[in-house]
Structure formats: C-alpha cells, structure tokens
Amino acid sequence: MKNSIIKIKTGNQSYNVFVGYDLFKNLLKILKRSSINFEKCLLVVDSKVPKKFIKRINLLLKEKNKFQYIFNSSEINKNQKTINKLLNILLKKNFHRNDCIISIGGGITGDVSSFAASILKRGIKFINIPTTLLAQVDSSIGGKTGINSKYGKNLIGTFYQPSLVISDTAFLKTLPKREIICGYAEIFKHALIMNKKFFNYLDKNAKNILNLKKPYLENTIFQSCLIKKKVIEKDEKEKNIRKILNFGHTFAHAFEATNNYSKKINHGEAVLLGIICASNFAKQNNIINIDDYKKIINHYKKLNLPIKINNFFKKNKINKILSFMKKDKKNSSKKINLILLKKIGSVSYSYQFNEKIISKFFYKELVY
C-alpha cells in the first residue's frame, strides 16, 4: 500500500492525516501541501523516541526557530505539572497563535502537547507525529486532549483538532511487542463497533499485523483511521455517537486508575481487558449475539491476549474500580454508562446500570 492521505473535516476545520512508511523525508513537502507555516515551534519529544529520528527532524526544520522539551511520558506525568512546564516555555519564548507545537511520541505525549496548544492564547497550531501504533490508529486524530487527576483519567481536557497528523510506520519497528499489542487493542475496538468485514480481516491477518508485515500493517492503520474519521465527523464533541469509541474504556480507565497508572497494566492492555469485560457483561445480560461473542473470545485465545480480569485484580479492588467508573465523564446520572455490543459491527452507547449490578458482575468475574 502506498502512502495514503485521509482528510478529516470537523466543524469549520479540516486537516490531513498522512499514513505511510518513511514519510519524514518529505516533511517539508507535507507541511507545504497542508498549507502550514510557522516561525517558531516547540518540539515535545517522548524520551523513548530514538535519537536518530529527532536528529533528522531537527535537520529538516533547520530554517525554523525551534525549541525542544524532552518528556518522560507516563500516565503519572500526564498532569498539570507537565502542562505548566510547557506553558512556561511557550510564554517565555513569546509564542504567538501562528506558532506551533509539534508532538513526537505516543498518545500521552500527544495528549499533553495538544492540551497545552489548545489553552495557550486560546489556541496555537498543533502538529501530531505519533510514534506508537496506538497513537497512530486512535489518539492522534479526533481532537481529544487531556490530562489525569487523582479523581480519574482524562477528566481535564479540551476538544482541539490538530493542524496535521503524520503517521510514519517507520517508528513502529523501534517498539517492543507489548506496545504493538496495545495499539492493536484500539484497532480491534474499531472493528467491533462498526465493521464486521474489518473484524474478519483482522481475524485472518492479525499475526501479520502484529509482526508489522506489509501491506497488512499500513492497510490496517488506514482502515482503522477511516472508522474513527466516520464517527468524529458526525459528532466531534461526543454528544452522542462518538461515545461508541469508548467501547471497553469505562472499564479500562477505571482499571488504570485503580492501579495508580502503574506499568503493571498500560492503556492498551486495559482496553483489551475492558473489551472482554464489556463483552462478558453483555453476555450475562443477554445483549450480545452469542455466536459473535464466541468469535471475540476465540480471537483473544488465538492471539493470547489478556482475557481474565482476575490475573490483574482481586476482589478487594472491586469498590475502588467502581468508584472510578462512577466518575467516568460519559455518565449523566447516578448510574454508570456502558457502551455494549449487540453484535460485531453494532453497538449501543445508551445503556445505564446501577452500581449494584456491576458490582455483582465483578464479584462473579473475580471470585468464581
């Protein structure tokens, strides 16, 4: 598959998402094609990104007045303290609205960079160069920014669309297998909520995708982004249908917060576990088609994905998990909102359950 371009249109704004291998060599052409100009830029660089890539970017942008901030990306550092550091640099260097923040890293780096861009002088340009599979297929597009607090994940943030996204698959070869599986979680989620044909493609080709084989990898990233594009163009600010993109995430965010955002379970793994919990819950409540439920379970087993919640949590954590689920930003009442599958390719975001029902579910999952 050749380098591809996806055009995202939301409200009064549109931007390009470039997907392909070794896109960096054309960085200046991509900026020109996307009509992006700036005098100053702040490179917010994930400390895990290999230095050879950063050296290359600096060389390509040698004509620009640029500054650099190395970010030790983690859910723990995705906080107001980091935002204050970024804002201090931007204000000290007198960044204007026509200047730019460029994020080079995974989803966490993109989240904090875009949040800072959205609030400085009510918005400066933001370019996202995602370097992880998870960020390339999910968090880099759609305009959600956010940081964590002691009350939960992503509860502080804005909707702020990027000016440009460049998803260069060359970065993915530098990642450990665990990070690739984390990205696959969001790909799998997209297939489950909207596209059974894409699910069948994943079921057939998952091992090639996880091994970063061409053309399976690029095609998968492209198709996953198209699904998200379709949703966010209908509902940019999560008033209704965009909520389906949070399938599995009500559980996942609570799992991460319960573990204090430790490396014991990262976001993608939490999403995989959240998808299984949502599917098991739907089965127990006679919501999901049983044949499709079995296909999901078989897919997990075939790829040896995390499937048992009791491998991560004990029953003494149930109340803590529930306390974070009750704070989820999708809730609009005292009940907990869950996005649940009816069948592969069909999902509903309108289910509301009281704490007692979900507590019984967890007790069954963790005890029996």
Tell me which of 174, 207, 226 is where a domain ends: 174
Tell me which of 118, 142, 174 is where a domain ends: 174
98 and 50 share one domain: yes
CA–CA separation, 202 and 222 (whole Å): 13
* 54-75 tens-digit pLDDT: 999 999 998 899 999 999 999 9
> Where are the strands (E) in the chain, listed by range?
4-10, 13-20, 40-46, 65-71, 100-105, 125-130, 147-149, 152-156, 164-168, 336-343, 346-353
Mean pLDDT score, 94-116: 97
Q: Would you say residue 344 has pLDDT above 80? A: yes
82 and 193 share one domain: no
Give me the CATH number covering residue 169: 3.40.50.1970
115 and 229 share one domain: no
Count: domains in the chain: 2
More confident residue, 330 or 251: 251
**Reported confidence tier of residue 368, pLDDT bands at 50, 70, 90:** low
190 and 102 share one domain: no
- Is residue 256 within 8 A of residue 265, CB to CB? The reply is yes
CA angle 254, 133, 151 (to 5 degrees): 20
* 275-295 tens-digit pLDDT: 999 999 999 999 999 999 999
270 and 196 share one domain: yes
CA–CA separation, 338 and 331 (whole Å): 9
> Could you tell me what percent of the chain has a pLDDT over 70?
99
- Phi, psi at 304, each rounded to 5°: 60, 45
Question: What is the span of the domain harbouring residue 293?
Answer: 178-367
Tell me which of 143, 174, 205 is where a domain ends: 174
46 and 146 share one domain: yes
Specify the pTM. Answer: 0.93
- Is residue 71 within 8 A of residue 45, CB to CB? The reply is yes
184 and 328 share one domain: yes
Give the C-alpha distances (Å, rounded to integers) separating 151 from 107, 148, 243, 270.
Answer: 20, 8, 21, 18
Q: Which residues pair with 42 in a beta bridge?
A: 67, 101
122 and 183 share one domain: no
The Cβ-side half-sphere exposure at 310, using a 13 Å CA radius, reads 9
- Phi, psi at 332, each rounded to 5°: -130, 10
133 and 192 share one domain: no
Q: Are strands 4-10 and 13-20 parallel, antiparallel or unpaired?
A: antiparallel
196 and 325 share one domain: yes
Cβ contacts of 113 within 8 Å, gap of 6 or more: 44, 86, 101, 102, 103, 126, 128
- Phi, psi at 285, each rounded to 5°: -105, 15
CA–CA separation, 346 and 196 (whole Å): 9
Give the C-alpha distances (Å, rounded to integers) separating 320 from 53, 124, 255, 257, 317.
Answer: 41, 38, 9, 9, 5
140 and 218 share one domain: no
Give me the CATH number covering residue 321: 1.20.1090.10
The four Cα atoms 306, 327, 71, 113 give a dihedral, to 10 degrees, of: 120
* 132-150 tens-digit pLDDT: 999 999 999 999 999 999 8
CA–CA separation, 25 and 127 (whole Å): 16
3-state helix, strand, coil in the chain (%, to 5): 50, 20, 30
CA–CA separation, 311 and 34 (whole Å): 47
* 167-208 tens-digit pLDDT: 999 999 999 999 999 999 999 999 999 999 999 999 999 999
157 and 239 share one domain: no
CA–CA separation, 52 and 59 (whole Å): 11
